[in-house]
Chain A
Amino acid sequence: MKYDYLIIAVRSLAKRKTRTYLTMIGIFIGIASVIALIGLGEGLRVAITSQFGFMGTDVLSVQAAGVSGAGMPGTGAITPLTKDLAEKIDRIGGVEVAFNRYMSTTTLEFNDKQKIEFVISMPEGSTRNIVERMVNLKASQGRLLTDADHKKVILGDNYAQDSSFGTTFGRPLRAGDKILLNGMSFEVAGILEKKGSFIFDDAIWMNEDEMLEYMGVDEDNVNIIAIKVTDIAYMDSVKEDIEKLLRKERGVDEGEEDFSVETPQSMLDSLNSTLYAIQLFVTIIAVISLVVGGIGIMNTMYTAVMERTKEIGIMKSLGAKNSTIFTLFFIESGLLGMVGGIIGIILGLLFAYGAAWAGRLILGADLIQASVSPGLVLGALTFSFVLGTVCGVLPAYQASLLNPVDSLRKAK
C-alpha cells in the first residue's frame, strides 16, 4: 500500500523535474556544507593532533605572553624569556632536561633565487641527542649535525622535493649543496626524513651557537623553552613548579602571569576548543541554509497542492480518504528532503575529500584531511528527511481537507 503511494509520489515529482531539482538545491547545499565543513574540520583536528604527537607527550613548553601575530612563537613578547631560565628550570625535580629553542626567519638563496624560510635551533652537547630522539630526527641523505660542525645546516624533506623546493629553485637540494642564508654561505649536511608536517618538513635546522652568531638572534629572547620530564606522572607538579619559579624570576603575582606553560594536553584542549567553535559556527550557518531550504520545500508543496487540486478531487471521488491524500503529499515532501539530503551528502563528501586531495597536492603535506564519520552522514540524512516531512505537514494537511466537489470543479 505505502509502496504504491511512494510510486505515485515519485511520478508527481518526476513530472515537474525542474521545480523538484530547484527545491532540492536548497537542501543539498545546506547538507553538502555541513558534511564538507564538519568533515574537513574533523580532519584538521586529526591532522593537528597528530602533529603534536611528534613532540612527545612528556614535553612541556614555556612561552612569554604577548602580542603574537603571525610571527614565530614568542616574537611579540613584551618581556622575553631570558637564556638563563632554562638552566634554572633544569634544576627542578622531575625535569630530565630543559633547553632553549630559538626560531628565526632567514632569506635562503640558491641558484640566484631567493625565498624566506625559517630556522630552528639545535641545542648542543648531550641535549642534542635528547632532541633528536624526542622529535625522532633521521637523515634520509647525508647526516645529522654534530657539535663540531661549522656553517652547516640540515633541511626538512620538502627542500629535497621536486614539487616544492625544486619548482622554486630549479632543482631540489641535496646533501653537500651550498646555500646562502642571510647572504652567508652554508653547507647542507643532510636532509631529514619526511615528517608529514610543515613544521618539520619546511624547517632549516642550525646549531644553536651559530644561530646566535649569524642569524641575528638575541640569546635573551628565547622563543620557547622546552622541558622534558623524567616521567609523565610528574607533568602537573613540574608545571606548577615552573610557574612558581617563573613568577618569582619575572616578579609577577599569581593570576597575572606574562608567560604560559603548556602541556601537550592543554595545547590540544585549547586547539580543540577553537576548532569546535569554528565547527559550531559553520553548523549554525548550515542550519540556517537548511531552514531556508525547508521553507523552499514548503513553498513547493503548497504550489503543488494548488496545482493539483483537481487531481486531489479526482482521487477523492475514487475513494481516497483525507488520510490517503495527506500521506501522498507527506511522502512527496519527505522524498524532496531525503533525496536532497543524499545528493548533499555525496557532494559534501566529494568536496571534503577533493579539498583534502588538492591540499596534499599543493602543500605536499597532510594538513588538510577529511574525516567524515558514518554518524555525521546518518545524522545529515535523518535531518534532511525530517526537515522535508516537517515542512510537508501543513501543505499535506491543507490538501487532505480539500472538498471533493470544489476541487473537481476546478478547471485545469
Chain B
Amino acid sequence: MTGKEKTILDLRDVWKIYEMGDVKVPALSGLNLAVKKGEFLSIMGPSGSGKSTAMNMIGCLDVPTKGKIFLEGHDISTMSESDLAQIRGKKIGFIFQQFNLINTLTAMENVMLPMIFQGVPKNERVEKARKLLEMVDLGDRMHHKPTELSGGQQQRVAIARSLCNDPEVILADEPTGNLDSKTGGTVMDFLRKLHEKEGKTIIMVTHDANVAKNADRTEFLRDGKIIKSMRKTAA
C-alpha cells in the first residue's frame, strides 16, 4: 500500500527541558522519530527515560522547548493550547494506563464526549458511540457507569472513545499496565485488530517487552534519546 509510506508524525531534534529551581533537567535530549501512516510502533524504556514526556509531545499535550514536531506536515511545536486541543480532539485518540473515564458519565456518554467537543450532532454521536461499543463487545454495557465496569471493560470503553473522531493516530500509554495478563491480552487483541483491519496508526508506550512485541517496530528510549530500534521480522 502506498499510504503506508507516508510519514504522519515527525519529531526532529526535540528537546524538553524542565527547570527545577536553578537546575535544568532535560527529559528529552534531541529525540528524532518518524512514524509512517498505518504503522504500529511501540516505545520502550525504563522509568525516567523520557517515555512520558515523549508521549506528551506526540499527543500534542505539551510543546517542546526546542525542536519541531510535524503532524501530517503541520508544525505543532509553536501552537497555542486551544489549537492543540482542537488537533488532539480530531487527530489523536488517547488510551491511558488508568483508563481515565469520567466517572459521572455512562460508557455511552464517555464515548460521546470527544464528539461533543467537536460539535458532532447528537443523533450522529449516539449512532457512532453505539457502533464503537458494540465493536469492543460492550453492547450490553452502554448505560453503565465506569464504576460498574471491570478494568478490562473500562479499557475497552476507552478504546471505543479513542476511535470516535476517527483519529489519525492512536496513542496508548501502558494500555495493559493496570490489567491482568488475560484481560491485557484481550485489550491488545483489539489494538492489533485496529491496526490490521482498520489500518490505524498506533503508537504505544510500554515497559513490558511482551506487550511491545505486538508492534511492527520498537524504539528503545534512554536519557531522552532513541538508543536502539528493532523491527519485527515477518513471521
By a CB distance below 8 angstroms, the chain A residues around B90 are 319
By a CB distance below 8 angstroms, the chain B residues around A319 are 85-86, 88-90, 114, 117-118, 165
Q: Which of A5, A318, A405 contacts B56 (CB 8 A)?
A: A405
By a CB distance below 8 angstroms, the chain A residues around B114 are 318-319
Whether the pair B105, A11 counts as a contact (CB closer than 8 A) is: yes
**Is A230 an interface residue, CB under 8 A from the partner?**
no
A287-306 toward B: CB 8 Å interface, digit per residue (1/0)?
Answer: 00000000000000000000
**Is A4 an interface residue, CB under 8 A from the partner?**
yes
- B114 closest partner in A (C-beta): A318
**Is A317 an interface residue, CB under 8 A from the partner?**
yes
Whether the pair B82, A318 counts as a contact (CB closer than 8 A) is: no
Give the shortest distance, in Å, between A369 (CB) and chain B (any CB).
Answer: 46
Chain A contact residues: over half helix, strand or loop, or mixed? helix
Whether the pair A321, B86 counts as a contact (CB closer than 8 A) is: yes
Give the shortest distance, in Å, between A43 (CB) and chain B (any CB).
Answer: 44
A304-340 toward B: CB 8 Å interface, digit per residue (1/0)?
Answer: 0000001100111111111110000000000000000
Q: Which of B62, B81, B89 contacts A318 (CB 8 A)?
A: B89
Q: Which of A317, A322, A324 contacts B61 (CB 8 A)?
A: A317
By a CB distance below 8 angstroms, the chain A residues around B101 are 314
CA distance A322 to B82 in the complex (A): 6
- A310 closest partner in B (C-beta): B100
CA distance A403 to B89 in the complex (A): 16
Give the shortest distance, in Å, between A316 (CB) and chain B (any CB).
Answer: 6
CA distance A25 to B116 in the complex (A): 32
Residues 43-70 of A contacting B (Cβ, < 8 Å): none
Q: Which of A1, A15, A318 contacts B104 (CB 8 A)?
A: A15
- A407 closest partner in B (C-beta): B61
**Is A408 an interface residue, CB under 8 A from the partner?**
yes
**Is A82 an interface residue, CB under 8 A from the partner?**
no
Give the shortest distance, in Å, between A335 (CB) and chain B (any CB).
Answer: 14
Q: Which residues of A contact B (CB under 8 A)?
A: 1, 4-5, 8, 11-12, 14-15, 310-311, 314-324, 403-405, 408, 412
A-B contact pairs, 26 of them (CB 8 A): A1-B116, A4-B116, A4-B122, A8-B105, A14-B104, A15-B103, A310-B100, A311-B102, A314-B101, A315-B113, A317-B59, A317-B61, A317-B88, A318-B89, A318-B114, A319-B86, A319-B88, A319-B89, A320-B85, A321-B81, A321-B85, A321-B117, A322-B81, A322-B82, A323-B82, A408-B100
